[in-house]
Amino acid sequence: MPTISSAHPRRFRWTPTAASRSSHQQRRWREGLAVVLAVNSGATDAIGFLALGGAFTSVMTGNMVLLGVSLAGTDGALALHTGAAIVCFILGCSLGTRVAGVPRPDDPVWPPAVTRALVVEGGVLTGYAAGWWWSDGHPSGQLQLWLLVLNALALGIQSSTVQRFGVAGLSTTYLTGTLTTVIARLTSGQRLRDVAPSVLTLLGLIVGAALGGLLTVRAPMWAPLVQLGSLGVVLAAAVTAIRPGSEL
């Protein structure tokens, strides 16, 4: 609870307790890890679009548009890739919800189930990386499709897992709503620092896409390391800095 300053008997000064400061720090730490997960999303989407058949792996609105365009233009290959990505993203969302669960009133800042779900995502991305490296970074044919669906499955897991936090507006994949919220709040007079976490998440997505795209084109054998590395950073934090005993 807040404390009352005794320096001036007639004046009350409410100051945050150690517990409230700790809770604030924990939430800031979680926001930072969400930015790192956004880097993973950006890289995965860029790799999917550039090297896995022209489909996205988390932007399902874009895939739905591409699916409609492919049907109108009778582009069977694009229709197959976008349709498969949509289906596997949905399956990933279902799997992520099964593992991570749904928000509960007694949840800590970082529920252990979130870590378990991200481990599952890591397993899926590891399988994708193995196939990517087996093809020397230039997958084609059926392998290209399989790697696309693994990436879509992984980001579906990540997308629904982040929902376990129960924080309105917190996302690491579909960020059009995040951008809309940032603009609306800034236009209504809020300060930039009030929307800083959302801005950093958007920047994380862009940085991840830039890294993933650059490596896909210039050094494809390194491309999966952006995905595995960013997710690995989050998992390392989850099993070290965020321990059950720390009441996070």
Q: Which two tokens stand for residue 103?
A: 């928000």
What is the SS3 assignment for 3? Answer: strand
Q: Considering only CA atoms, which of 58, 35, 52 is closest in space to residue 153?
A: 58
Q: Hey, what's the torsion of the CAs at 229, 93, 159, 134, to 10 degrees? A: 20
- Please write the tens of the pLDDT for every residue from 225-243: 999 999 999 999 998 865 5
pLDDT band, very low/low/confident/very high, at 17 (cuts 50, 70, 90)? low
Say how many C-beta atoms besides its own lie within 10 A of residue 128's C-beta: 26
Return d(Cα 111, Cα 141) in angstroms, integer. 40
State how far Cα 221 lies from the chain centre.
Answer: 23
State how far Cα 89 lies from the chain centre.
Answer: 13
**Average model confidence (pLDDT) for the chain?**
89
Q: Considering only CA atoms, which of 55, 42, 50 is closest in space to residue 84?
A: 55
**Whether the predicted model's global pTM rises above the 0.85 cut:** yes
What secondary structure letter does DSSP report for 53?
A: S
Per the DSSP assignment, residues forming a β-bridge with 4 are: 14
Q: Which two tokens stand for residue 92?
A: 């990933």
**DSSP code per residue over 162-214:** HGGG--TT--SS--HHHHHHHHHHHHTT--GGGGHHHHHHHHHHHHHHHHHHH
pLDDT band, very low/low/confident/very high, at 24 (cuts 50, 70, 90)? confident
CB 96 within 8 A of CB 117: yes
pLDDT of residue 5 exceeding 60: no
Say how many C-beta atoms besides its own lie within 10 A of residue 1's C-beta: 8
- Please write the tens of the pLDDT for every residue from 175-187: 888 899 899 999 9
Q: Which amino acid is at 245?
A: G
- Please write the tens of the pLDDT for every residue from 47-89: 999 999 999 999 999 999 999 999 998 889 999 999 999 999 9
pLDDT of residue 101 exceeding 60: yes
pLDDT for the residue numbered 124 = 98
